């Protein structure tokens, strides 16, 4: 945490995690003050996990590759209602819905190569980036995947503009930020 004078303190140290983190990657917050964090493990499919950190800094495991082999290298996170979280996997390129209380996974969509970022646009449409293959996709409520744009060197974590008209795509290896129009 950073105070108004620029001094920072650690909110959740490595020792607070039930399993030593390997590659903490993405963050997402919910309306109750919880923070969700992905641990991409070794980024090859081993040791991945998703955690919840409450507003007091207490860390709890939601799921990991030992509880469910589908969890390989969690990356992009997005809250999905009060009881679930979307997770985009870096190794499998699969988008999952995770039930927060149980850690149960449901496949939403797949085909994202090196899945990185996920955001929600208008009318519930999801957008996902593929870091490895330099692409950005849309995902309909029915799970239909459509390529929006490819040709990036490395489409990393994405964001949505405040007016919802653009996906902000950091092309890491190109050193560029692209405003990709939607609709």
Task: Tell me the per-residue pLDDT of 72-119, one tens digit each, with 9 for 90 and over.
Answer: 999 999 999 889 999 999 999 999 999 999 999 999 999 999 999 999
Ranges of each domain in the chain:
12-110, 112-183
Fold (CATH) for 112-183: Thrombin, subunit H (2.40.10)
Dihedral of alpha carbons 151, 152, 155, 158, sign: negative
Name the pTM for this structure: 0.93
Distances (CA, A) of 182 to 120, 127, 147, 165: 12, 10, 12, 6
Fold (CATH) for 12-110: Neuraminidase (2.120.10)
Question: What per-residue confidence (pLDDT) applies to 1?
Answer: 76
């Amino acid at each position: 945490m950073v105070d108004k004078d620029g001094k920072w303190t650690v909110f959740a140290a490595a020792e607070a995690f039930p399993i030593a983190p390997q590659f903490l990657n993405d963050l997402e917050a919910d309306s109750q003050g919880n923070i969700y964090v992905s641990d991409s493990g070794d980024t090859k499919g081993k040791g991945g996990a998703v955690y919840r950190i409450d507003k007091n800094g207490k860390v709890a495991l939601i799921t990991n590759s030992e509880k469910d082999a589908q969890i390989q290298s969690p990356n992009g996170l997005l809250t999905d209602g009060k009881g679930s979280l979307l997770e985009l996997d870096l190794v499998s390129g699969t988008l999952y819905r995770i039930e927060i209380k149980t850690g149960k996974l449901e496949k939403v969509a797949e085909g994202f190569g090196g899945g990185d970022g996920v955001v929600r646009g208008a009318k519930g449409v999801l957008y996902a980036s593929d870091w490895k293959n330099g692409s950005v996709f849309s995902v309909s409520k029915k799970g239909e995947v459509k390529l929006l744009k490819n040709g990036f060197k490395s489409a990393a974590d994405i964001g949505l503009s405040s007016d919802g008209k653009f996906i902000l795509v950091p092309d890491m290896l190109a050193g560029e930020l692209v405003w990709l129009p939607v609709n």
